[in-house]
Structure 1
Amino acid sequence: MQKKLILTAAVALLSLSHASAATPPTLTKGVLKIGMEGTYPPFTYKDAAGNLTGFDVDIAKAVAAKLGLKPEFVLTEWSGILAGLQANKYDVIVNQVAITPERQKTIAFSTPYVYSTPQIIVKKSGTFNPKTLADLKGRRVGSSLGSNYEAQLKAAGGINVVTYPGAAEVLADLAAGRIDAGYNDKLLVNYLIKSQNLPIRGAGTGQPDSMGIAMKKSNVALKAAIDKALLQIKADGTYAKISRQWFGIDVSKP
């Protein structure tokens, strides 16, 4: 019965568009391959037992369930995650990918499923307390390579932007004093401050971001199906339950 349901769901996905040749072959096998970092708490990381967990993991599983597909997670560094999508290593990325005009030139996004704000991060014991990106001029500031945060820092001008494969490396160098500040998601910063004994604290914030599930522009049928699935998990309360579990609030609202 389960195989029949999966096959039916795959056929339904393909029927959403005449461009079935553009649909990833994994969908016809009943699998949704999902790219993510696995080192970005509380969104996607491994717990003490080595199990992949996090907000994005739960959202990805819920979306896959609505599609009638089995989620298969593919872990990769942030610096290569968008290239991996174009190389067909996975069908979608569920990893807090900010929707930007530049990215929309080459990849497609679902409707936004998370709204958050970038935050400047500094050492807890230090006296440096930047309020805006202008306060970071002349400073060494860490960010993930290829991220929206890196782009914002460079656009501000006058900041010595130091890039890393992912957020974990930024936090490690900040704690060690090798950089003056970091710049990342406020939801991540608040989670780390509450759940881990990291010597960091949040400072000023940037402009709000909207995050979407990323996929190749040619996958029109997949985008339509994922947008529908997101509406369904919001309507039936699944999204709110997951969001409150991780953040205590519903992060689907601006």
Structure 2
Amino acid sequence: MRKPESILASVIVVSASLLAHAAHAHSIDEVLASKTLTVVTTASSPPHGFMDPASNTLKGIMVDLAQGIGKQMGVTVKLIDVPFDGLIPTLTSGRADLMSAPLFVTDERSKVVDFTTPVYGWGEGVVVSDKQPKHFGRLDDFKGEKVGTLVDSVQYKMIKDLPGTQVSTYPDYFSLLADIRAGRVDLGVVDPPSVLYQIKLKSIPGVKLDDAYHPQKSWFVAGAVQKNNQPLLDAINHAIATMKQDGELRAILTKWGVANLEAK
């Protein structure tokens, strides 16, 4: 499941091409007139976003954030669920006005979308089998190991060129954790909040976070809009700022057990 760098590069090229020929997302005036904000998210990453089987509705941190933004703007939020690698293309094609998903802000992504102010963030973590005798404290410890991570993730970009490391990519954490438990990969480089939530939610045995690992980087999650839609971006940033000031954002993060990750 190795993903060549050329394919990764093509993702940005395709996104840029889509941007150049994109249908325009709604302007702030159109959003307010229609009283509807169309938001793309993903159900592939609890607790940030997932499909609740009991209610068959989307839930999670970024879903709650989108609903909060809609409330601040006085509009109804219409959610679109896509796979992780469909988030940016859905936004740049004009099928959504806002992206609210666990996508880290990076310079590369900022070339094709405009991010809002940061909402929350964290560093990478390492998950291993509970039978793994070794500890991995830093990236150099991965040498000679089979390592898994999510496709097109910032963690993949961190580890894809590590010498002596065999890197495999996965569409979701459930399949990655299954391969770690089965011994098909030695460790996974992951988003700790997502993995801890999945282990708890799905009662996944046989895997654990390696407490010896120290994050090498940290990133922030933010919303995003199409390029050159500044008035809409300003309105969304104002909504986020209000949510921070009145404690609504902190309440959302507390609800999902990650209050300590709020961006200041």
Please report the TM-score for the alignment, with normalisation by the length of structure 2. 0.81
1:235-254 mapped onto 2 (5 Å cutoff): 235-247=245-257, 249-253=259-263
Classify the secondary structure of the residue corresponding to 2:222.
Answer: strand
Q: What percent identity do the matched residue pairs reach? A: 26
Say which of 5, 24, 27 aligns to 2:26.
Answer: 24
Task: Output the amino acid matched with 1:246.
Answer: W
Question: Residue type matched to 1:92 in 2?
Answer: L
- Tell me, which stretches of 5 or more residues in structure 2 are unaligned? 1-22
CA 130–51 in structure 1, closer or farther in 2 if over 3 Å, else same: same
Distance 1:87 1:168 in 2: 29
Amino acid of the structure 2 residue aligned with 1:48: P
- The answer to whether residue 220 in structure 2 is matched with residue 220 in structure 1 is no
Aligned positions of 1:35-74 closer than 5 A: 35-49=40-54, 50-74=56-80
Distance 1:56 1:219 in 2: 21
The answer as to whether partners of 2:253 and 2:259 remain within 8 angstroms in 1 is yes
Question: 1:85 and 1:122, CA in 2 relative to 1: closer, same or farther beyond 3 A?
Answer: same
Structure 1 residues 74 and 22, CA gap change in structure 2 (3 angstroms): closer
Q: Is structure 2 residue 209 aligned with structure 1 residue 202?
A: yes
Amino acid at match of 1:125: K
- Contact 1:78/1:144 (8 A) holds in 2: no
Change (3 A) 1:40 1:111: same
* Aligned residue number for residue 11 of structure 1: none
- Provide the C-alpha distance between the structure 2 equivalents of 1:47 and 1:176, rounded to a whole number of angstroms: 27
> Structure 1 length normalisation: TM-score?
0.84
Distance in 2 of aligned mates of 1:156 and 1:118: 16
Query: Which residues in structure 2 correspond to 1:1-254 (within 5 Å)?
Result: 23-24=25-26, 27=31, 28-49=33-54, 50-198=56-204, 199-203=206-210, 204=213, 205-247=215-257, 249-253=259-263
Query: What are the Cα deviations for residues 162-216 of structure 1, in whole angstroms up to 9, with x where unaligned?
Result: 1122333322322332222111212223333444422221122331111111221
Secondary structure of the residue aligned to 2:221 is strand
Q: Residue 174 and residue 215 in structure 1: after superposition, are their counterparts in 2 closer, same or farther (change >3 A)?
A: farther
**CA RMSD, 1 decimal:** 2.1
Distance 1:100 1:158 in 2: 26
Question: Partner of 1:14 in structure 2?
Answer: none
Letter in 1 for 2:100: V
- After superposition, what is the alpha-carbon deviation per residue over 1:131-151, rounded to whole angstroms, capped at 9, x for unaligned? 112211232222222111111
Shift of residue 158, structure 1, vs aligned partner: 3.7
State the aligned residue count: 234
